[in-house]
Structure 1
Amino acid sequence: MTQAPQAGAADWASNHSSEAPRSELIKRLASELLDATETKVPVPPLRDRVLEMTLEDAYQVQDAQLQHHLAKGRVLAGRKVGLTSLAMQQQLGVDSPDFGYFFADMVHHEDASIPADSFISPKVEPEFGFVLKETLSGPGITREQAAAAIGEIYAAIEIIDSRVADWNIKLVDTVADNASCGAIAVGTTPLDVAIEDLADVECSLLIDGKSVASGKGEAVMGDPVAPLAWLANVLGEQGVALEAGQLILPGSFTGAVPVEQNTSATADFGALGSLTINFS
């Protein structure tokens, strides 16, 4: 794994003390993460370099990157919710999920060949992919309203990646780093499943055809629709809606599993269908 430039981190810390304007620190961290995305050279943990870094700070870093990409003409395709399982929340010492975004050029489909070296340290997670048929404008969105807004449901795989060195992350680090989103894969044939049955759906994660993890939909906040309502309400408080046609990934059935070059990953939903992608 490529190591972060430790000398550069020390220089940065000495030149950007806690006395520096908060807005300057936010911009600098966003720029570092944008550079890391391009160069594949990770950065040291952000939490160590901003005095008492808050979740609000982290989302400002994330949003600064989003606005940069949108200004460059990239097309927002959807949003992802992370940290939806109790195990992951306990690991990071949090009691709520987080969220990030992805663009159309980050979305892959069945049998895609994805260069492994386009990431720093990729891992995969099997998920549902919800395509919205209605816009959700929070706050105040109920579980029932969120469920009614779901159109097609697809098999999906999120490729997570960390621009923070060695996956040495806490909540503020991963939030600032776009919730560790690397890319998305989504099937082309909808899963024939009723929304009310999502919590009971089983999914296995296969690497090179061998099952390495499995879980049920209930692992996603007890109800895979719950993260969708949560996301609509959190974004709604910022004046941002989830638009009809967007793809939303509500969270993983299992823990994340590392992948390497010349391997395949499959989200196997049994009789409902599956999705396989390949890393070249």
Structure 2
Amino acid sequence: MRSGDVRRAAEVLLEAERSVTARGPITAQWPDLDLPSAYTVQYEALQQRLHRGETLIGVKLGLTSRAKQIRMGIDSPSLAWLTDAMVLPAGVPLPREKLIHPRAEPEIVFVMGERLAGPGVTAATALAAVERVYGGVEIIDSRYRDFKFTLADAVADNSSSGLFVLGPVGRSPDGMDLLHEACLLEVDGQITDSATGAAVQGHPAEALALAANSLGARGLAIEAGAVVLTGGMTDAVHVKPGARVAAHFSTLGTVTIAGGTACRSST
């Protein structure tokens, strides 16, 4: 894509987010949008976010489950950026007026203690760079109508970024069994899904290593203090008005989004 098209595509997606308006895939307007071009659009949109006052705080992975990868016809996750505008503090109402069609998915979240730069990062070296581990819930919100898009469309749209909530329990990764860290997803009092850390690229640390190596190939790194959402453990569920969605982690507490309000509890 030409630089002018990259800038325009980023502006179109940011305007859809700002105006809370679903649209068709941008590949209809820019059919030459391939995956490398999509990441260029995504990075341009990040620069525009930073220019308007947002602060880069981390990265997120998408499509980390094998089932999702098969549905999208890919063999590796996607990456996207997190800014401070995407943080939803505990007790703050879900701003539905700013979201098109929010969906929630539970995630294992890392907060980095050290800078992590590829290539050559392994799961072991990645985990050694982690300071704290949290449970969390990401609220994804595609700008595309009916969540229908190609992989390139999704990547350009910052992998359907919306908001995220961190859970109440932050633990050192030392001694944690992240492979078997379990999560029960509850919707309106009913358990609808469950998973363990193994659903995230085989192990959440594998997802972290992949993110560091993928960014390293572009001359980028995961900085100390960064928040890393490692990817949905279960399929995302639509957050209907008035619904209560809770993610119950085995050792990382509970994260609840209830009645339009995000709240946290330690049990």
TM-score (norm 2): 0.92
Does structure 1 residue 22 correspond to structure 2 residue 2?
yes
Partner residue, 1:227: 207
Deviates more, 1:63-72 or 1:268-277: 268-277
Distance in 1, matches of 2:175 and 2:6, equals: 40
Q: Number of residue pairs matched?
A: 260
Distance in 1, matches of 2:222 and 2:173, equals: 22
Distance in 1, matches of 2:178 and 2:247, equals: 15
Are residues 195 and 108 of structure 1, via their aligned partners in 2, closer, same or farther at CA, if it must alter by over 3 Å?
farther
Does structure 1 residue 149 correspond to structure 2 residue 155?
no
Larger proportion of helix: 1
- Unpaired segments ≥5 residues, structure 1: 1-20
Distance in 2, matches of 1:228 and 1:42, equals: 31
C-alpha displacement of 1:229: 0.6
Partner residue, 1:10: none
Q: Percent identity?
A: 39
C-alpha displacement of 1:191: 4.3
Does structure 1 residue 90 correspond to structure 2 residue 90?
no
Distance in 2, matches of 1:275 and 1:192, equals: 19
Partner residue, 1:128: 108
Paired amino acid for 1:41? T
C-alpha displacement of 1:48: 2.3
Equivalent of 1:206 in 161, 181, 186: 186
Does the Cα contact within 8 Å between 1:77 and 1:246 map onto a contact in 2?
A: yes
Distance in 2, matches of 1:195 and 1:170, equals: 39
Are residues 66 and 259 of structure 1, via their aligned partners in 2, closer, same or farther at CA, if it must alter by over 3 Å?
same
- Unpaired segments ≥5 residues, structure 2: 262-267
Deviates more, 1:196-205 or 1:212-221: 196-205
Distance in 2, matches of 1:134 and 1:257, equals: 33
Larger radius of gyration: 1
Are residues 140 and 38 of structure 1, via their aligned partners in 2, closer, same or farther at CA, if it must alter by over 3 Å?
same
Equivalent of 1:101 in 81, 86, 101: 81
Distance in 2, matches of 1:228 and 1:55, equals: 20
Partner residue, 1:80: 60
What are the superposed Cα offsets for residues 182-240 of structure 1, whole Å, 9 maximum, x if unpaired?
Answer: 11110232147656611111101112332221111101011110111111111112221
Which runs of structure 1 show a deviation greater than 3 angstroms over 4 or more consecutive aligned residues? 109-112, 191-196
Paired amino acid for 2:216? G
Superposition pairs of residues 113-262 of structure 1, within 5 angstroms = 113-191=93-171, 194=174, 197-262=177-242
What are the superposed Cα offsets for residues 40-62 of structure 1, whole Å, 9 maximum, x if unpaired?
Answer: 11221122222342101111111
